[in-house]
């Protein structure tokens, strides 16, 4: 199996966690006799410092020639005063758009070994296994016009979706549900927003092609509560861009830490793989970052870009075993027993 992987580590803890994901990919390659080729390029704050732009064309060119792109995280406090289109985060939006993936898959799974880490009761999260399908190229993050008119003291962004954009991401959600528990929960705000009315009508239409899958609709405000009260009742959760961003971070409460969440963006020219968390400047450079989200992201890469399902499962099993053996990163250590088993970012990667 030949695979060309571009690693764009980015800022803060990005380089620390992608190094561990790459370590796992290298050992999978060695173990399975695969020919994985790794390249590295700059994005975000690191690219601004070196090239004055958050997504240099050199990075984009090599990304478009790769089979998969593994991204760490971007952003740093020193850039916070810049306007959105010049910040490190602009590089992230640009690479997402250029690679073309519109369906961002974000699994949130309650690891039994981490049950005590969640502030939710074990009986509430026990068995929770959700996959968010977040639309990634539309909505407020990309809609035009967008502006902050400082003189007028007003600012606006545009939430816009076309029917076709909703159809294609809804089909991804229903296809996934067919191989899971056959339930899609579509999240919107159709009681207030026209965009959400289009969303709801279109998702209902797509559902007719999947008679074996149950569709339910939820308003995003109610959903943010249901997710914490009854996480086990959800299977595939389909959302537009902003709602998915918010709800998937909320789901970190189910898994025990934001550092546990992986993601894969599919449907475009090149798939993009990134842990859900950001650059975490508060813990960067200290070996404190949890690499498991990035490592589980590497498993998704093998699953969706290399068709190596067994290898993906082997990584997921290794993560589960390491947690069952009691190993923790600092964010996962709550009890006194946990605190005796804290590993650095690198040591956790090696343990997996």
Contacts with Mg ion by CB under 5 A lie at 245
Our CB check for ligand NAI shows the closer of 99 and 166 to be 99
Tell me: does residue 267 bind ligand NAI (CB under 6 A).
no
289 lies in the site for ligand NAI, by CB under 6 A: yes
Report the b/e string of 245-283 with b at 16+ CB within 10 A.
bebbbbbbbbbbbbbbbbbbbbbbebbbbbbbbbbbbeb
73's contact among ligand NAI, Mg ion, none, with CB below 5 to 8 A by partner kind, is ligand NAI
Q: What token pair was written down for 321?
A: 């075993």
Contact residue for ligand NAI among 301, 331, 348, 349 (CB under 6 A): 331
245 binds, among Mg ion, ligand NAI, none (CB under 5 to 8 A by kind): Mg ion
Q: Is 141 a catalytic residue?
A: yes
Under 8 Å between Cβ of 59 and 43:
yes
Task: Report CA torsion sign: 39, 43, 48, 52.
Answer: positive
Residue from 5, 29, 47, 92 in contact with ligand NAI (CB under 6 A) = 92
Q: Choose, from 161, 189, 234, 235, the residue flagged as catalytic.
A: 189
Q: How far apart are CA 231 and CA 228, in angstroms?
A: 6
Maximum alpha-carbon separation in the chain: 62
To the question of whether residue 157 is assigned a binding role by annotation, the answer is no
In angstroms, what is the minimal distance from the CB of 248 to Mg ion?
A: 7
- Binding ligand NAI (rule: CB under 6 A), the pick from 54, 256, 278, 349 is 278
Angle among Cα 247, 22, 88 to the nearest 5 degrees reads 50
The neighbour count for residue 164, using CB atoms within 10 Å, is 9
Asked whether residue 278 is marked as a ligand-binding residue, the answer is: yes
Pick the closer one to ligand NAI by CB: 5 or 177.
5
Looking at the Cβ atoms of 17 and 352, the one nearer to ligand NAI is 17
> Closest CB to ligand NAI among 167 and 333?
333
Contact 135, 165 (CB under 8 A): yes
Q: How far is the CB of 331 from Mg ion (least distance, A)?
A: 16
CA angle 317-319-322, nearest 5°? 110
274 is an interface residue for ligand NAI by CB under 6 A: yes
DSSP-assigned letters across all residues of 198-237: HHHHHHHHHHTT-TTSEEEEEEHHHHHHHHHH-GGG-SEE
The nearest distance, CB 278 to Mg ion, in angstroms, is 7
Report 2-41 residues binding ligand NAI (CB under 6 A): 13, 17
Of 70 and 280, CB closest to ligand NAI: 280
User: What interhelical angle do 88-99 and 57-64 show, nearest 10?
Assistant: 30
Residue 212 annotated among the catalytic residues of the structure? no
- Binding-site members for Mg(2+) are 221, 245, 249
Catalytic residues: 141, 189, 221, 245, 249
């Amino acid at each position: 199996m030949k695979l060309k992987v571009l690693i764009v580590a980015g800022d803060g803890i990005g380089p620390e966690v992608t190094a561990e994901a790459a370590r796992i990919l290298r050992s999978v390659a060695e173990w399975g006799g695969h020919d994985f080729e790794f390249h590295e390029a700059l994005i975000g704050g690191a690219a601004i410092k070196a090239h004055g732009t958050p997504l240099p064309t050199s990075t984009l060119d090599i990304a478009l020639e790769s089979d998969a792109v593994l991204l760490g995280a971007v952003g740093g406090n020193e850039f916070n005063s810049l306007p959105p289109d010049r910040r490190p985060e602009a590089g992230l939006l640009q690479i997402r758009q250029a690679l073309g993936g519109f369906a961002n898959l974000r699994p949130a799974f309650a690891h039994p070994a981490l049950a005590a880490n969640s502030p939710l009761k074990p009986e509430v999260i026990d068995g929770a296994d959700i996959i968010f399908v977040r639309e990634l190229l539309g909505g407020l993050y990309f809609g035009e016009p967008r502006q902050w008119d400082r003189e007028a003291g007003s600012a606006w962004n545009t939430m816009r979706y076309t029917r076709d954009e909703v159809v294609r991401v809804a089909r991804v959600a229903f296809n996934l549900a067919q191989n899971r528990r056959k339930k899609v929960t579509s999240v919107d705000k159709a009681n207030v927003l026209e965009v959400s009315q289009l969303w709801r009508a279109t998702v209902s239409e797509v559902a007719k092609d999947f008679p074996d899958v149950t569709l339910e609709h939820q308003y995003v405000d109610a959903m943010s509560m249901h997710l914490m009260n009854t996480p086990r009742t959800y299977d595939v959760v389909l959302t537009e861009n902003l709602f998915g961003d918010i709800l998937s971070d909320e789901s970190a409460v189910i898994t025990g830490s934001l550092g546990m969440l992986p993601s894969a963006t599919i449907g475009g020219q090149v798939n993009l793989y990134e842990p859900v968390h950001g650059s975490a400047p508060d813990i960067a450079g200290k070996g404190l970052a949890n690499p498991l989200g990035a490592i589980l992201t590497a498993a998704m890469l093998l699953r969706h870009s290399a068709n190596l399902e067994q290898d993906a499962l082997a990584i997921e099993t290794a993560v589960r075993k390491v947690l069952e053996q009691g190993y923790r990163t600092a964010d996962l250590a709550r009890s006194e027993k946990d605190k005796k088993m804290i590993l650095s970012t690198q040591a956790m990667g090696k343990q997996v």
